[in-house]
Chain A
Amino acid sequence: MRIEIPHVTKVEGHGNLIIEVEGDTIRDVRFGIHEGPRYFEALLVGRKAMEVPELAGRICGICTVIHTICAAKAVERAAGWTPDEKLERLRDLLTYSSHIQSHVLHLYFLALPDYLGKGSVLEMVEEYGDELKRAFALKKASNEMTELIGGRMVHPCTVIPGAITKEITVETLKAYERRMEMVARETEAMARLFLGLQYPEHETRNDLLALRDGKSIPLLDGEITSLDGLSFPQGEYISRIEERVVPPHTAKRSYVNGRPFFVGALARLGINSGFLREEARALAEEFGIEFPSRNTFLNNAAQALECVHYAHVALDLVREMIDSRFEYIPPSEELKFRDGGEGVAVVEAPRGLLVHHYRVDRRGRVRYANIITPTAFNFAQIEDDLRTYLPSVGVGDALKLEAEKLIRAYDPCISCSAHVVRVKDASDEGGREGA
Chain B
Amino acid sequence: MIRAGLISFSSCAGCFVEFLNMEEDLLDLVKIVDVRAFPIALEENDFENLDVLFVEGCPTTPYQLEELLHLREKARYLVALGTCACYGGVFTLIKNHTFKDAVDMQYGGTPPVVSIPPQGLSYYVKVDYHLYGCPFELSELRALVTALAMGKPYRQPEYDVCAECVLRDNDCLLNKGVPCMGPVIRGGCRARCPSSGQACTGCRGTYSDANIDSHRAILLEWGLTPEEIDELYAKYGGVER
Contact = CB atoms under 8 A, between A and B. Distances in A.
Interface of A: 7, 9-14, 34-43, 45-47, 51, 54-55, 58-62, 64, 105, 109-110, 113, 119-122, 125, 132-133, 136-137, 139-140, 143, 150-155, 157-158, 160, 165-167, 245, 250-251, 330, 413, 415, 419, 421-422, 425-427, 431-435
Contacts of B16: 61
A43 B97 contact: yes
Contact of B101 (A42, A61, A122, A250): A42
Contacts of B231: 47
Given A119-B43, A151-B196, A157-B196, A37 B67 contact: no
Given A61-B135, A109-B20, A13 B102 contact: no
A36 B9 contact: yes
B45 A54 contact: no
Given A45-B97, A157-B196, A9 B12 contact: no
B12 A165 contact: no
Nearest to B96: A46
B11 A415 contact: yes
Contacts of A47: 93, 231
A41 B107 CA distance: 10
A109 B106 contact: no
Given A36-B59, A158-B196, A434 B112 contact: no
Contacts of B7: 434
A415 B13 contact: yes
27 contacts: A9-B40, A9-B45, A37-B10, A38-B91, A38-B118, A39-B115, A42-B102, A43-B91, A43-B96, A43-B102, A45-B105, A51-B201, A55-B90, A58-B90, A59-B12, A113-B43, A120-B38, A125-B30, A140-B21, A154-B14, A157-B192, A158-B198, A422-B113, A426-B61, A426-B62, A433-B67, A434-B37
B121 to A, nearest CB: 14
Interface string B76-90: 000000000000011
A9 B193 contact: no
Contact of B10 (A36, A422, A427): A36
Contact of A7 (B39, B62, B135): B39
Which of A105, A113, A122, A425 has the largest number of chain B CB atoms within 10 A?
A: A122
Contacts of A165: 196-198
A154 B135 contact: yes
A399 to B, nearest CB: 15
A293 B223 CA distance: 59
A425 B112 CA distance: 9
Contact of B13 (A13, A41, A122, A140): A13
A37 B61 contact: yes
A433 B39 CA distance: 9
Contacts of A42: 94, 97, 101-102, 105-106
Given A58-B12, A60-B14, A120-B42, A151 B114 contact: no
Which of B9, B64, B195 has the largest number of chain A CB atoms within 10 A?
A: B64
Nearest to A165: B197
A55 B115 CA distance: 20
Contact of B198 (A137, A151, A245, A251): A151
A45 to B, nearest CB: 6
Nearest to A60: B12
B44 interface: yes
B21 A139 contact: yes
B134 A155 contact: yes
Contacts of B18: 61, 153-154
